[in-house]
Amino acid sequence: MEQLLKQIEDHKKEISAFTAADEKQVEEFRIKYLGTKGLMKSIMGEMKNVAVENKKEAGQLLNDFKVFVEEKYNELKESTVNGQQSTANSIDLSLPGDNLPIGSRHPVVLMRNRIVSIFQRLGFAVAEGPEIEDDWHNFGALNLPEHHPARDMQDTFYIQQNPDWVLRTHTSNVQIREMEKGKLPIRMIMPGRVYRNETVSARSHCFFHQVEGLYIDEHVSFADLKQTLYFFVKEMYGKDVKVRFRPSYFPFTEPSAEMDVSCFICGGSGCNICKKTGWVEILGCGMVHPNVLTNCNIDPAKYTGFAFGMGIERPAMLKYGINDIRLFSENDVRFLKQFTSAI
Ligand code: PHE
């Protein structure tokens, strides 16, 4: 009798601890404890070894044990629905929740948003265009006919299946796509990713980002271009920053210029960033070439306009003190999570 009691206690402990993740395990439980060759059967067989005077008590004990095992079986059955463990019994609602890490914006996105929002305040609308572009929109319409030497200024990735397609080398393709729509005036800011077949190093990458600007209307002059960019620079780098324009060449603008700002790292006295010149180049710009307007069915006798294009990575590197452009595309969370400002 003593022994039987002890046995039952031990089995109860084992059974209480039993868990089943799916219906298969519930069935294993049934076979092990309630099956025709299971524990219940063999322990019932112990009755014959119990002394006559204890039979009644032992019978009661075994019956209780049987109820206990059956209850456990039903419980296991209920808790596995469609082969999955129900969470109803396993969630402890009193436990404190996990802290989900807050994401952060990519530094290129932060810089893009800053640039775009300054032009939005001047009434520029945002537009985007395709990264896989045909030759006409990336080159031809921008006054870069086939075999034009200026095509070599930008090392192009061509798409193997169709040599007429390229990965756009600049966001200027979006200028064409907007002008083609034929709705004037145009006042657009066009951010996006561009590709150039360049060796990847700390200073240059085979893809990076630009923001393009385009303003077409009657009587738009170079003075409007300068004033717009002055406003941008003051908003972006502060009111004390000096600006200078250098004559330059782009096939799609005439006249063309590059704009420098006084080095915002050393204040113009000369440092590594500005290569001791005191100036940092930030964008290319100019008056939209009449051929480009004609290519887009806009009458250059009636309309004029200006365009500009600037990189995003370089100003972001300067602002955040990043010394390797490859960090932007490696997706190392330790790098990315450092940028937390709101826009
Ligand atoms: N597309 C030129 C570049 O990628 C920049 C530019 C845009 C220059 C618009 C003038 C006008 O270098």
Pocket lined around ligand 1, Cβ cut-off 6 Å: 170, 172, 212, 250, 253, 284-286, 307-309
Which string of DSSP letters, residue by residue, matches 61-124?
Answer: HHHHHHHHHHHHHHHHHHHEETTEE-STTT--TTSPPPPPPPP---HHHHHHHHHHHHHHHTTP
Torsion from C-alpha of 216, 222, 259, 139, nearest 10 degrees: 40
Which string of DSSP letters, residue by residue, matches 277-310?
Answer: SSEEEEEEEEEEPHHHHHHTT--TTT-EEEEEEE
- Does residue 249 sit in the same domain as residue 284? yes
Question: What ligand 1 atom has the least distance to the C-alpha of 213?
Answer: 9
- Does residue 297 sit in the same domain as residue 225? yes
The answer to the question of residue 95 being in a domain is: no
Q: Which of 170, 211, 229 best tests ligand 1's pocket when mutated (most atoms within 8 Å of CB)?
A: 170
Residue whose CA lies nearest to ligand 1 atom number 10? 285
CA 233 to ligand 1 center in whole angstroms:
17
CA 163 to ligand 1 center in whole angstroms:
23
Residue whose CA lies nearest to ligand 1 atom number 9? 308
Domain CATH code at residue 278: 3.30.930.10
* Separation of alpha carbons 303 and 307, rounded Å: 13
Question: What ligand 1 atom has the least distance to the C-alpha of 310?
Answer: 5
Residues of the chain with pLDDT under 70: 81-89, 341-343
Tell me what pLDDT residue 343 has: 44
123 burial level (CB within 10 Å; 0-12, 13-18, 19+): exposed
Tell me what pLDDT residue 100 has: 85
The answer to the question of residue 99 being in a domain is: no
Q: Which of 139, 250, 252 best tests ligand 1's pocket when mutated (most atoms within 8 Å of CB)?
A: 250
Q: Which of 151, 166, 172 best tests ligand 1's pocket when mutated (most atoms within 8 Å of CB)?
A: 172
Last residue of a domain, one of 62, 89, 116: 89
Tell me what pLDDT residue 268 has: 85
Domain that holds residue 52: 2-89
| pTM for the structure as a whole | 0.72
- Does residue 200 sit in the same domain as residue 61? no
The answer to the question of residue 191 being in a domain is: yes
- Does residue 120 sit in the same domain as residue 44? no
- Does residue 243 sit in the same domain as residue 326? yes
Tell me what pLDDT residue 103 has: 84
Question: What ligand 1 atom has the least distance to the C-alpha of 153?
Answer: 12
The total domain count for the chain is 2
- Does residue 75 sit in the same domain as residue 215? no
Which string of DSSP letters, residue by residue, matches 8-55?
Answer: HHHHHHHHHT---SSHHHHHHHIIIIISTTSHHHHHHHGGGGS-GGGH
Contact 230, 211 (CB under 8 A): no
- Does residue 273 sit in the same domain as residue 173? yes
CA 241 to ligand 1 center in whole angstroms:
22
- Does residue 44 sit in the same domain as residue 140? no
CA 272 to ligand 1 center in whole angstroms:
25
Tell me what pLDDT residue 80 has: 76
